[in-house]
Amino acid sequence: MGNLFFFLFIIILALQIYILNSNKPASFKRRNFPRSMYAIGGLIFLNMVLERASIGTYFILIPVGLIIYFSIKNTKFCDWCGYRIDLSLPFRRKGLCPRCGSDIDEKRDYFS
Ligand SMILES: [Zn+2]
């Protein structure tokens, strides 16, 4: 079971790297990046259920959930070039895409 879990995890991570770095439009990345994060969270949860983890182990889901929430919240995509922008990084030119320099709406939320 552990091996299958690891295998699926690697596949989802590879998919996520593909989603983030492909030349697909921003709308595609906005739709599918959160999905890949939910898939990782779901996979961790499923593995715990199947492994019959003790109740205490489920507390891991709290930091996992927070990491997923903030990584989705802090990741924006440039409308013009599709570049991934991590809002949590320092030394960033606010409101501008680092690759093409077009305006980024940082307030917009992509939870949908
Ligand atoms: Zn851009």
pLDDT tens-digit series, residues 19-78 = 999 989 999 999 999 999 999 999 999 999 998 889 998 999 999 999 999 999 999 999
- pTM assigned to the model: 0.85
pLDDT at residue number 64: 95
- Given a contact cutoff of 8 angstroms between Cβ atoms, the answer to whether 43 and 5 are in contact is yes
Q: Locate tokens 């109740």: which residue?
A: 55
pLDDT at residue number 63: 96
pLDDT at residue number 110: 61
Distance 97 CA to ligand 1 centre (A): 5
Distance 64 CA to ligand 1 centre (A): 29
Which contiguous run of DSSP H or E holds residue 68?
helix 61-73
Residue 112: pLDDT band (50, 70, 90) is very low
Domain residue ranges of the chain, discontinuous segments joined by +: 2-86
Q: Report the C-alpha gap between 70 and 68 in whole angstroms.
A: 6
86: three-class secondary structure by DSSP: strand
Distance 81 CA to ligand 1 centre (A): 4
Q: Report the C-alpha gap between 9 and 100 in whole angstroms.
A: 33
Ion ligand 1 — residues with CB < 5 Å = 78, 80-81, 83, 97, 99-100
pLDDT at residue number 7: 94
Distance 27 CA to ligand 1 centre (A): 13
- Given a contact cutoff of 8 angstroms between Cβ atoms, the answer to whether 78 and 102 are in contact is yes
